[in-house]
Structure 1
Amino acid sequence: MGLLTIGAFAKASRLSPKALRLYDELGLLTPARVDPVTGYRLYAPDQVDRARLVAWLRRLGMPLARIQHVCASDAGAAAQEVRAFWAQVEADTATRRDLAGFLIDHLSRKDPALSRTTKSLEIRYAALSDTGLVRGSNQDTAYAGDRLLAVADGCGSRGAPAGAAAINALKHLETDGIPAGDLLNALEDAVEQARQAVHDVAGNGSPSEGTGTTLTAMLWTGSQLALVHIGDSRGYLLRGGELFQITHDHTMVQSMVDEGRLSPDEAASHPQRSLLFKALGPGADATPDMRLHDARGQDRYLLCSDGLSAVVPTPDIHRVLSEISEPEQAVRELIALANDLGGPDNVSCVVAEVRELQQ
């Protein structure tokens, strides 16, 4: 079959001549030949698949430079690139969805016609940190108070004081009067203070020392919990008998899982599964995940370091949170489970239960 005119190629590829001219101008789909006299674009039949691929990628919203990279790759690498792009789109969408939910809820509370009555709630809580059976020192910090719940897992030569400093920088939130609508702003400001506190702890140490910390914390208001998270410590919610992980690990291995380059089973045994790409520390990307959770009676929250989540199977964590009613007993049992499985790392956890106040 010979070359196709732009009209015939448009029909074969199900694209308009206008779109084909645009793809040519952008360098995404160059005609096989341009008639030197008429200027008509002529296409080879084997360009149809590429034309459709470009159109599909444009429909996904992929940037032009990335489309060019996909089109220049072999099928396997191209699929990997599309998977990675879409994982990022979904992550960005989730962030915007959380913000939209917060704004809807925030504005609804200001509208008497949309406001809703809520029952008075309180929390019971407990925090515990343990060195484990292998490490010589404990770089974890766990804290639970009337309004603040937090876990930090320090790393590097001054990891222990770094984690403690991060949580200490948040403790003023326990007593500050914060309107419900300003929860996330207050928490964001406090995290910046925590970042500076970790930087001060690291001092003039060399970057190779890697001083930093994870931070997973929740600020309680009586009806809502504002969550801040950076690193690979985790937050879980037990609601209606089901256990949900409400944080996303900021590790290189998790990013490979998100992009489809590793399976969850492969990630669990990967030698670099603890390598962070986000943490609080000098030179680190310190932009945390932040969101707002509506609290319900009988909710149970768990914040923990990876000394628990990477060691104790999730079904066992679920069982403890479901069966042990007292938070203090629950944290002791969780740490005991980690140590029974070898206690390879420091292990810390905070358990908080939401209860309805008796009227």
Structure 2
Amino acid sequence: MKKLSVFFIGLFIPALLLTSCDKGDDPLEGEVVSTPAFELMADYMVENNLDINNILTNTDGQKFVTKAPAEDDLAAFLDTYYIMDIRSGDAYAESHIEGAHNVAFGDILTEAAKTTKPILVVCYSGQTACYATALLRLYGYSNTQALKWGMSGWNSKGADASWNKKTDDIAKGSPNWSYDAAPANIIYDDPVISTTLTNGEAILKERVEAAVAEGFKTISGGEVLATPGAYFINNYFSEQAYSDFGHISSAYRIYPLNLADDTYKALDPEANTIVTYCYTGQTSAVITATLNVLGYDAKSLVYGMNGLYHSNDAFSSNQWGVDSKPKDLPTVK
């Protein structure tokens, strides 16, 4: 009888150990398991047309940027928009678009609540304005656009203060500029967002407000080109452009990049810095703003391809000073 008891105990102990090991993996019956904040927010964004593709182009078909108008269309253009000029007070005082309101970047959400008109955000180069536009669209102001090229696209005086000084060819001949095929994308876990909120919309608004408070997060092309291995780099080009233009060594090509199709999972949430670059730094500003809201540590490479390899023979559009030049529109003081 004693031997039989020992036999049953021998069967019982391993079963108990196995049960104990599984306890942390699966919820117990009746246990409430909370949905991660990222998932709540991401689901809300997809369901409400706030996925990354909808921030780049809203459901009305409006892209995140709009060009300066032809001179004959200026009056109608000015009447259409509530214009936020987010440049410094000194730059605004010296010269600005008629009717524009000088707004600090940190006040864009408060200012947006003052109007029912479509919003136009204006800066020096268009990049900070695009970052602001993405955050405003995510916050619910879907009819927000940035002035493409900023004041540089408005007139030559604006261009002299920004874009005319910023094109460069630092990638030409660099050992860190490559024409190799893109590395295979890897699937990563979602970012972890810390919040006490349990509603997707509320989490999104909290995250946007935090991103506005932090301001535009950027990095120079020189920094990234010097040590590309220090960053998780995403070249936001088409496959053809990736090979024709060349790219920073080891740069991934995650394009498209959306929540709904899980393409975002190719981004590493534990990377020190995710750097996105495009042709002008304007699209990458939108992507970067959205990624920071989603919980990634992201920066936009300023001036994009124009600042890396402006004279590249493959350039056919969005090349500053070639197919894109300043207009000759008036400003006021």
Judging by fraction of residues, say which structure has more strand.
Answer: 1
- Superposed pair shares fold, TM > 0.5: no
If asked which structure has higher relative contact order (CA below 8 Å, sep 6+), I would say 2
Give the number of the structure whose alpha-carbon radius of gyration is greater: 1
TM-score normalized by structure 2? 0.23
